[in-house]
Structure 1
Amino acid sequence: MKKKYRIKKNEEFQEVFKRGTSVANRQFVLYVLDKPEQLYFRIGLSVSKKIGKAVVRNRVKRYIRQVFHEERDRIEIGKDYVIIARMPVATMEYEEAKKSLLHVLRRANVFH
């Protein structure tokens, strides 16, 4: 995923948290912020150290990025998405994590 499609700066994360809407399930919290002037969507990932060591956290982030990569044609553009991973996702395999993340994305109506 190219750098322009990522949210990296703390100020950008804070803007999504403050002005965006949130949807959650047991594994993920999704914040969505409309950015109509943006011609693409951006994602920001937050995986706490509570989830596990670096290997586990990086695996979770790879899973999330892969889901967004696979679903990129269905996801609405002009939005910023911040995904916060919760503890249960640490023990999940890719297919389970994907199913859970897609559930949250559907609840947030991000597919067009």
Structure 2
Amino acid sequence: MLKKFIVKKNYEFQKIISNRSFIKTNTYFIYLKKNDFNYHRFGISVGKKIGNAVVRNKVKRQIRSMLTFYFAATEGYDQIIIVRKSYFSNSYLVNKEILLKQIKR
């Protein structure tokens, strides 16, 4: 994932979350905010309740790989993806299907 597609700064996360536009599923909580670019930007957050650092980083890598080809768009959105505990109850393919279905909305 290129740097221009990533939301990293805390103030950017807070601005997107304070917009209060979100999509809620069993596996993810996705906050949205329209941006001024022609591409989407993503931020990934995995809480400490999910597991230790190794597990959290594995989940982040999996989500980045799910989003690899989903950046071109006519109007861009900043999106914060928060992973929930039920992420582990599904397989990788099911999680990918759920995430991409919700992002396309």
The TM-score normalised by the length of structure 2 is 0.86
Q: Which amino acid aligns with 1:21?
A: S
SS of the aligned residue for 2:99 comes to: helix
Partner SS state of residue 68, structure 2: helix
After superposition, the Cα gap between the structure-2 partners of 1:62 and 1:31, relative to the gap in structure 1 and judged at 3 Å, is same
| Offset at residue 101 of structure 1 (A) | 1.2
The residue number in structure 2 matching 1:84 is: 82
Amino acid at match of 1:23: I
Query: 2:7: which partner in 1?
Result: 7
* Residues 1:58 and 2:66 are matched in the alignment: no
Report the residue type matching 1:28 in the other structure. Answer: Y
Separation in 1, partners of 2:39, 2:70: 13
Deviations 1:53-89 (A, max 9, x none): 122211211121112113334x554210100000011
Superposed displacement of residue 91, structure 1:
4.6
- Residue correspondences, number: 105
1:8 Cα deviation (Å)? 0.6
Report the Cα distance in structure 1 between the residues aligned to 2:7 and 2:65, rounded to whole angstroms: 16
1:48 is matched with 47
Partner amino acid, structure 1, of 2:88 = A
Aligned to 1:72: 71
Distance 2:29 2:16 in 1: 12
CA shift, 1:92, in A, is 3.6
Identity %: 36
Gaps of 5+ in 2: none
Deviation (angstroms), 1:2: 1.2
Structure 1's unaligned 5+ residue stretches are none
Alignment RMSD: 1.8
